[in-house]
Structure 1
Amino acid sequence: MKVLGAALCTSAMVILGSSVPISRALLSYPTLAGQVLRYTLAVVILLVIARRLPRIGLRSGVRLAVLAAIGLVGFNVCLLAALREAEPAVVGTVVGGTPVVLALIGPLLARRRPALRITVGAAVIVAGVALVQGAGHASTAGLLWSAGTLAGEVAFSLLAAPLLVDLTPIAIATYACLFAVPLLLVASVAAGETWRVPTWPETWALLYLAVVLTALAFVLWYGGLARLGVEKAGMFAGLLPVAALAATAVLDGTVPSTGAILGTVLVAAGLAFGLSAPARVTGRVVRAESVDRAAHPEPADRAAHPEPADRAAHPEPAARAAHPEPVDRAAHPAPAPGGAGHAESEVADGALPVGELAPGPRAAEPGRCAATSYPSRSLVLVDSVPHRTPARAPASIGDHGHSER
């Protein structure tokens, strides 16, 4: 499960990182309008894959709506505003703090102490992300908008983790995109964007963002989040700028700087260190009969002398067979003394006379249970802690484009 979760999170981050150079084709297209088209197409694809969505309650619906408002719409709005007030490297460095935030907030919301090894590993990853992104300048407004982008990045995983208990990754991704479409439409109208038909390069970029980045990467990320938990999955967010750097280098034919290479090494070291943390016990399932046997152990004499499984193979001793103990003394009173020998007892039709032993198990002795005991199928949950678990990738910001959720 740990290997599969790591593979799912890594795949999602590689896909998201590769979207950075591809998103350059949409720099001249209205941002929020493009997001409306992207998420609308993603909803259609996810509905075809899921075939039917499960019903959700009011609480889950509210959480999904907040997830769409903060993790999708809020993220894109804040990212757009941050890029106007700060250089891409600054925004990317701030959003790159996602692993540390999730390593601290995730356990606290679950009423647990943050794991030291995971927290240290996340801090090393953030340091590596800062080296990969590089330095830049930003105004106060740019830093605030960057912090809002970070909040949207964290909410994308933190709000989804409790929903993974009852909903599948496909269902969560579909509902989140479905709720995001009308919100993005309102934001686009409020921003005064002018809609137009996209060009062919813009159309291909939108198709990639809808099919690969949204319909596929969202499901992969939530699948890894369900298996690793919030803290460990959040560390994979550090792979986003590394994947963006590699994709840009391949497509543009450039060589990464020494600082970027050193940052990549730090990201890998932080991941290896953090993932080596022992798994936390979030819940143990124990059978009810195990709990009952622990509370009521077998008597010592009975455990030392177990009851034979087949009485036919272990007949009663001859002395006991000759003088059986009556089950009910009221039904078999002792014969009156003084007669010659013992008087014969009258028996009903089909009954056995006194002195003969009926085949089969004897009557229950004092201190024993005559009823047959069957194992209970019920389960008892011990030390249950809400799960959940993991974060979506932080938006990697590059000098030649930005990642879009």
Structure 2
Amino acid sequence: MNSRYVGYLCCALAMVGVGSTVVVSKSIAAGLPPFSATALRFAIAFPLFVLVMRWRGVRWPRLDRRDAVLVIAQAAAGSVGYTVLLISGMRLASAGDAGVIAGTLPAVSAVVAILALGERPSSALIGAIVLATAGVLACTVSPSDIAAPHAAGSVTGNALVFAAIVCEALFILLNRKLRKPVAPLPLSALMCGIGFAVSIVPACFERPWSMPLDAGALSGVLYYALVPTVAGFVLWYEGAARISGAEAGLITALVPVSALALAALLVRESVSAAQLTGVACVLGAVMLATFAQTLGTRNAA
């Protein structure tokens, strides 16, 4: 098979896995507190990453004090913050709405870069931000949701999911601030190890051992740790090495599509017109953001 097609397939499978985290977080939220689920996820994934590092002969990076602080902040925001907020939001939000919001990551990352780094946005990037915002609003403030008795809870859940995406955008920004870039494999292992250390103390305060055993939540955490976390990492970087950055960026559009499809198939949620509108806006935002990134790369060259 052509190497580029293998790259497309690997990246696509990785993004479908990311989309599935929204759906599986719904079952996790029903049976486990957020910090306990987060700590368990990293407790499973971390030793697997260490084994992969040993198998590939990859060493731990040597970080100065500044980079070490940034890596810890990355783990707190992108690993713990993202997972805790996503699971908390899924107690209230629908999986379909959350999937649409998760797809806004490229546009949210651009906004964070503009605000934190003072980057000047191109017209295409501004269009992407507008479309992504429209997609979120289509799900969050649609007339059908406002009329529903659970509207306040749904809006709160959507806000928590969006906060999770902001945490992931901060992760991306902080990674760009490292003086010495860290290779993907040891960085993923560090994120899991530090994420476990950060989440284990608040998890103890949740006293998960005093709660009834929920097989669905535990199997959800196991899936989250093995498929989107470990396998997703391997698939994404294996695929990204075979295709261009612009092509990889476009493939992230599969996140909201897969999340919405899986919500309909697995959770039996009905797909509303507002959600379809939101997905269309988010897909347009991903394409515009990718175009802006490609244009910026060409201008820099």
**Both structures adopt the same fold (TM-score exceeding 0.5):** yes
| Pairing of 1:9-48 with structure 2 (within 5 A) | 10-26=12-28, 27-48=30-51
CA distance in 1, matches of 2:157, 2:212: 31
Task: Give the partner amino acid of 2:152.
Answer: A
Whether the 8 Å contact between 2:112 and 2:169 is mirrored in structure 1 is no
Q: What is the match of residue 54 of structure 1?
A: 60
Change (3 A) 1:155 1:10: farther
Whether the 8 Å contact between 2:128 and 2:286 is mirrored in structure 1 is yes
Change (3 A) 1:274 1:166: closer
Bigger relative contact order, structure 1 or 2, given CA contacts below 8 A and separation 6+? 2
Name the SS for the 2:209 alignment partner. Answer: coil
Q: 1:218: Cα distance to partner?
A: 4.1
Q: Deviations over 1:282-336 (max 9, x none)?
A: 866xxxxxxxxxxxxxxxxxxxxxxxxxxxxxxxxxxxxxxxxxxxxxxxxxxxx
Task: Give the partner amino acid of 1:125.
Answer: A
Change (3 A) 1:161 1:13: farther
Q: 1:129: Cα distance to partner?
A: 4.5
The structure that is helix-richer by fraction is: 2
Whether the 8 Å contact between 1:96 and 1:130 is mirrored in structure 2 is no
| Pairing of 1:223-234 with structure 2 (within 5 A) | 228=245, 233=249
Q: Deviations over 1:87-124 (max 9, x none)?
A: 55887777665433322332565554222213312432
Name the SS for the 2:182 alignment partner. Answer: coil
CA distance in 2, matches of 1:172, 1:133: 34
Q: 1:154: Cα distance to partner?
A: 1.6
**Cα RMSD over matched residues?**
4.1
Q: 1:180: Cα distance to partner?
A: 0.7
CA distance in 2, matches of 1:3, 1:163: 32
Q: Deviations over 1:241-294 (max 9, x none)?
A: 33211112223566523333333333333333443342425866xxxxxxxxxx
| Pairing of 1:153-168 with structure 2 (within 5 A) | 153-163=168-178, 166-168=181-183
| Pairing of 1:1-400 with structure 2 (within 5 A) | 10-26=12-28, 27-51=30-54, 52-57=58-63, 58-79=65-86, 82=89, 87-88=93-94, 98-106=105-113, 112-131=119-138, 135=142, 136=145, 137-138=151-152, 148-163=163-178, 166-194=181-209, 198=213, 200-218=215-233, 228=245, 233=249, 239-252=254-267, 256-277=271-292, 278-281=295-298
Q: 1:39: Cα distance to partner?
A: 0.7
5+ residue gaps in structure 1? 285-405
CA distance in 2, matches of 1:15, 1:33: 22
CA distance in 2, matches of 1:129, 1:3: 32
Q: 1:185: Cα distance to partner?
A: 0.6
Whether the 8 Å contact between 2:140 and 2:158 is mirrored in structure 1 is no
CA distance in 2, matches of 1:273, 1:206: 34
Q: Percent identity?
A: 24
CA distance in 2, matches of 1:10, 1:109: 30
Change (3 A) 1:55 1:266: closer
5+ residue gaps in structure 2? 146-150
Task: Give the partner amino acid of 1:14.
Answer: V
Q: 1:184: Cα distance to partner?
A: 0.8
Whether the 8 Å contact between 1:67 and 1:159 is mirrored in structure 2 is yes
CA distance in 2, matches of 1:87, 1:253: 14
Change (3 A) 1:143 1:206: closer
TM-score, reference length from structure 2:
0.72
